[in-house]
A and B are shown apart, each in its own frame.
Chain A
């Protein structure tokens, strides 16, 4: 018994102190993963804020966007052009979603919209496979100007290896996250977006066009999906199994709050870093593999004590 307690509460910290280079390495990998989670979560937050709907299709949008880019490249389109075309496709998708799903379902219960995003998921899987095939594809990182290789830094009494692609991913994710945060907090369109989320009727009465806002939001979520898909694809491959990663955004959202941009960032980092630390230091106790469920366990604990998340809007009801 004492031994077990020692293994849980003391030994991991002894290890951390004993080999700081490994700790830094683990934290770095957690940070990169966390930034990417944050970016995925942001895609959900955008759509949740504007349409009040949890977009189940966000994961597949990420795959579909990256697949379009990589697929076009494989068909002989130069990589930068393929990237622009993929952005164009995400715009068309946003317009189509607004016309075919949101507009006909306006004023319907949220659950209907939620189910509609399930439908969208399967449409995108079908169309994606039909056009680009189901096999995993490699991201042309070099053609996109993404670096390869690693910086090996001798520090903390050992070796810390930073993959260049990870640095690029963290950098791009940080910039996008920061830009979106400012955009949605401080600008007219951001305000219009929050207005639409709060009260459709009132938003219409001050002259906000729901249709236009929805297209902007879905397009932005599509671009975020494209960036995440490429970044994540560059670390493995682009394949349909990537959408499982998008589910990790769920605990991130529960942690950060469904409506909060900073929440998505902090939640993403907590999940990303917590997962890596847990797996590396506590994983061996139970035979590893805890990174697949640790995030959900953290989220569950949060639901018990702080259901609106760290930064979510507290729901004020006057009686």
Chain B
């Protein structure tokens, strides 16, 4: 595990909103090809951390390097073009569009044919469109959502929306996939499906995954390594077994008499 190459490293990152410190001096890294979980009680700064990684937030202190390159202040679409894709805690899909269009939207950065050809949807632009459509159909098959291909996603049940959102992120062929509570609000069966998809993505496509999840059982089963945050501080970092037996983690989760 330890000999793996580092994909992303976060060093001494602090983020605050006015007087509120969301993240204080947190460092950890994500290795290529692993499934890395970030856990912690509510308000621990997990989502803020994802937002820092994909460029929505800019930390006041600290450095982030991705693929060995120290990153300057960057915009979300720049992070996306470097291969960081994500899903959101409260499902951020394009609700008026169909499943297929949502996933095709994930290909935005992969389509390059000029404005001119697109204007007439002809020539190279049409070939390109067909090729990407094929790719997206593969994702749809993979996620077993063929039956809702044309359905407007706003009308789908929550579990399926989460799946479509994962599909859109996969369409970006990411090197690093950030999942913010991919199983929130799901029943057992849906959770098992989602876990299977995450493992498949990780193993078949070699995609590195960083996920936030509250279901500790799922996290322990899925992840290679876990970071535990509490009130913006890192309190533990290690394999599931190490984290499970860490006294600070047990205290954070079960509460402790002070």
Chain A interface SS verdict (over half): helix
Q: Is B129 among interface residues, defined by CB-CB distance under 8 A?
A: yes
State the Cβ distance, A284 to closest chain B Cβ, in Å.
45
The reply to whether A204 and B76 contact each other, CB–CB distance below 8 Å, is yes
The reply to whether B77 and A313 contact each other, CB–CB distance below 8 Å, is no
- Interface size of A by CB at 8 A reads 30
* CB-contacts of B146-190 with A (<8 A): 152, 154-155, 168-169, 171-172
Closest to A313 in B: B96
Stretch in contact with the other chain, from A120-128, A182-190, A231-239, A269-277: A182-190
CA A201 – CA B77 in complex, angstroms?
10
State the Cβ distance, A50 to closest chain B Cβ, in Å.
13
CA A205 – CA B55 in complex, angstroms?
9
Instruction: Assess A208 versus B108: contact at CB under 8 Å? Given A183-B119, A189-B118.
Output: yes
Q: Which residues of B are at the interface with A, using a C-beta cutoff of 8 A? A: 54, 56, 75-77, 80-81, 85-86, 88, 92-97, 101, 104-109, 111, 113, 115, 118-121, 125, 129, 152, 154-155, 168-169, 171-172
> Which of A183, A187, A192, A205 touches B85 (beta carbons < 8 Å)?
A205
CA A190 – CA B80 in complex, angstroms?
19
Instruction: Assess A316 versus B154: contact at CB under 8 Å? Given A189-B115, A192-B105, A205-B86.
Output: yes
Instruction: Assess A207 versus B108: contact at CB under 8 Å? Given A182-B121, A187-B125, A316-B154.
Output: yes
Could you give 7 example pairs across A and B, Cβ below 8 Å? Answer: A188-B113, A191-B105, A195-B105, A204-B77, A206-B80, A316-B95, A318-B154
Given A194-B94, A204-B75, 9 more pairs with CB closer than 8 A: A191-B104, A192-B105, A194-B97, A195-B97, A198-B96, A199-B95, A205-B76, A313-B96, A318-B154
Q: Is A179 among interface residues, defined by CB-CB distance under 8 A?
A: yes
CA A205 – CA B50 in complex, angstroms?
11
CA A105 – CA B77 in complex, angstroms?
19
State the Cβ distance, B75 to closest chain A Cβ, in Å.
8
The reply to whether A202 and B94 contact each other, CB–CB distance below 8 Å, is yes
The reply to whether A199 and B105 contact each other, CB–CB distance below 8 Å, is no
CA A179 – CA B109 in complex, angstroms?
23
Q: Which residues of B contact A292 (CB under 8 A)?
A: none
Closest to A200 in B: B92
> Which of A183, A198, A208, A216 touches B77 (beta carbons < 8 Å)?
A208
> Which of B96, B129, B152, B172 touches A206 (beta carbons < 8 Å)?
B172
